[in-house]
Amino acid sequence: MKIFKFGGASVKDASAVQNVAQILDRYRNDRVVVVISAMGKTTNALEKVLALFYEKNDWSLALREIREFHDRIVDDLFGEKNPQQLRERLAGIFEEVVRYLSKAGNFVPDEIYDKVISVGELVSTTIVESYLDEKEYSTCWLDARRLVRTDSRFRNARVDWEITRRHVRMEVERRPDTRLFITQGFIGSDHRGRTVTLGREGSDYTAAIMANCLDAESVTIWKDVPGILNGDPKLVRNTLLYKELPYREAAEMTYYGASVIHPKTIRPLGEKNIPLYVRSFINYEEPGTVIHDCQVENLAPAVIFKFRQVLLTFSMPNFTFINEKHLTLIFHALDTFDIRLNVMQNSAVSISICADYRPGKLKELLQHLGNDFQVKYNLDVNLVTIKNFTEEVLAGVIADLNPEDELLLEQRSRNNVHLIVQPAVSV
Ligand code: ASP
Ligand code: MG
């Protein structure tokens, strides 16, 4: 069994969907579970509908645009043949959104969010499945909400592995003749059957969940980049492609901000030693990158940016040394207010922390700790990590900073350098 994941860009219009079919054509002799995201930027567009709804503005037009975007894809894919059944299924899914919004008062906003946002994946998989059937692939559409069982933390649900494994295996094993399964990334349901989502960009994670549950032979994430590069080509010059990476390296890269795969993807695969291929859906002959159990000598340095960070410095009044009790207070507060710490550094009288910037949470944290510490902070800073650095690459990164950017902190460990930069112009 192989697991494929196709993200939004790989199904963004009719020709992209046709390209997916071409890729699948090369695997007609395999059994494949295909995990698909919402088409193009549909998830953002659905978030916009919700924003309008909560601002008490007219949201129906925004929803109609999403519907028309999908209708056009259906028109382009099916041409003269009018797929009446498909149209009815899509209409049904969109009507659910309207129905839920009309009784939104009965639910907490995060529950409504998951219900509405999941429509992107439901619609995209429905269209792709119909198209593949029409091309004579025999497919089975699986509802990920009946596969992936989670807790009830809407928008960021945690997987119940035992139940999920049972569901996934059962659904696949009872169809021994089916070669191609189509399911949604990013969504699942809780013990009451309520729709949940796994966190933005969570479809990669779904692919890893499927692989882990089915002991798959491999996972392939098909992307609009050739594989994993040692930097984002929009930000870094002369990037190169990794042919292979150890699980640990890949996991750390995602932790420090590499957005090419979702951070939660690696663990369920590493645990079962399942290789993860990251390949181009455009040049699909190319091997891309494989992440697996390996050792790579002299791994090329990676330059990774993480934006929207805050640099906080806590210090003690009157030259008091900062001690473990003070640190405990700070860490406890970070945990309580759910602020993710990325890098830290301390001195005799202060500790600096670089964390994800979440305005509401930060305010609560500052109120909570304001009496015990003097706090200074810089908002909207960038964390630049150079993994497996060389002096040459480090010098290059510093030279490439804008002259008006301010380097607030530089930290070196054995393998990595972190720079915290206040950009003159924020990205
Ligand atoms: N459609 C969801 C998102 O855009 C999940 C995904 O694409 O991975 O966040
Ligand atoms: Mg996506």
The pLDDT tens digits for 329-376 are 999 999 999 899 999 999 999 999 999 999 999 999 999 999 999 999
Candidates 94, 113, 107; CA nearest to 53 is 113
pLDDT of res. 427: 56
Ligand 1 contact, 201 CB (< 6 A): yes
Ligand 1 contact, 207 CB (< 6 A): no
From atom 8 of ligand 1, which residue's Cα is the shortest distance away? 201
Atom of ligand 1 nearest to the CA of 203: 8
Candidates 322, 303, 317; CA nearest to 382 is 303
From atom 3 of ligand 1, which residue's Cα is the shortest distance away? 201
Can you spell out the DSSP letters for 360-399?
HHHHHHHHHHTTTSEEEEEEEEEEEEEET--HHHHHHHHH
**Distance between Cα 375 and ligand 2 center (Å):** 37
pLDDT of res. 84: 94
Give the C-alpha separation, 275 to 8, whole Å.
Answer: 22
CATH architecture of the region 302-422: 2-Layer Sandwich (3.30)
pLDDT in tens, 18-72: 999 999 999 999 999 999 999 999 999 999 999 999 999 999 999 999 999 999 9
Q: Ligand 1: which of 34, 186, 224 to mutate, judged by most atoms within 8 Å of the beta carbon?
A: 186
Q: How many CB atoms lie within 10 A of CB 427?
A: 10
pLDDT of res. 311: 98
Angle at 5 between CA 286 and CA 237, to 5 degrees: 50
H or E element that contains 219: strand 218-223
Number of H-type helices and E-type strands within the chain = 13, 16
Ligand 1 contact, 7 CB (< 6 A): yes
**Distance between Cα 188 and ligand 2 center (Å):** 16
Ligand 1 contact, 124 CB (< 6 A): no
Chain Cα centroid distance, residue 121:
14
Atom of ligand 1 nearest to the CA of 38: 1
* Distance linking the first and last C-alpha atoms of the chain: 42
pLDDT of res. 323: 92
From atom 6 of ligand 1, which residue's Cα is the shortest distance away? 201
Mind listing the pLDDT tens digit of every residue in the chain (427 residues)?
A: 999 999 999 999 999 999 999 999 999 999 999 999 999 999 999 999 999 999 999 999 999 999 999 999 999 999 988 899 999 999 999 999 999 999 999 999 999 999 999 999 999 999 999 999 999 888 999 999 999 999 999 999 999 999 999 999 999 999 999 999 999 999 999 999 999 999 999 999 999 999 999 999 999 999 999 999 999 988 888 899 999 999 999 999 999 999 899 999 999 999 999 999 999 999 999 999 999 999 999 999 999 999 999 999 999 888 889 999 999 999 999 999 989 999 999 999 999 999 999 999 999 999 999 999 999 999 999 999 999 999 999 999 999 998 999 999 999 999 999 999 999 876 5
Ligand 1 contact, 301 CB (< 6 A): no
Ligand 1 contact, 43 CB (< 6 A): yes
Atom of ligand 1 nearest to the CA of 121: 1
Domain 2-216 superfamily per CATH? Acetylglutamate kinase-like (3.40.1160.10)
Three-state SS at 417: strand
CB 375 within 8 A of CB 404: no
Atom of ligand 1 nearest to the CA of 202: 8
pLDDT of res. 251: 96
From atom 2 of ligand 1, which residue's Cα is the shortest distance away? 201
Domain boundaries, the chain: 2-216, 302-422
Ligand 1 contact, 37 CB (< 6 A): yes
**Distance between Cα 46 and ligand 1 center (Å):** 11
H or E element that contains 86: helix 84-102
Ligand 1 contact, 11 CB (< 6 A): no
Give the C-alpha separation, 75 to 82, whole Å.
Answer: 8
From atom 5 of ligand 1, which residue's Cα is the shortest distance away? 201
Atom of ligand 1 nearest to the CA of 262: 8
pLDDT of res. 303: 97
Give the C-alpha separation, 153 to 13, whole Å.
Answer: 32
Ligand 1 contact, 263 CB (< 6 A): no
pLDDT of res. 426: 61
Give the C-alpha separation, 300 to 411, whole Å.
Answer: 20
Alpha-carbon dihedral angle through residues 240, 238, 253, 365, given to the nearest 10 degrees: -170
pLDDT of res. 259: 87
Alpha-carbon dihedral angle through residues 227, 231, 236, 238, given to the nearest 10 degrees: -60
Give the C-alpha separation, 331 to 329, whole Å.
Answer: 6
Ion ligand 2, residue ranges at CB < 5 A: 7-8, 37
CB 414 within 8 A of CB 422: no
Structure tokens at 163: 């139940």
Q: Ligand 1: which of 203, 259, 264, 265 to mutate, judged by most atoms within 8 Å of the beta carbon?
A: 203
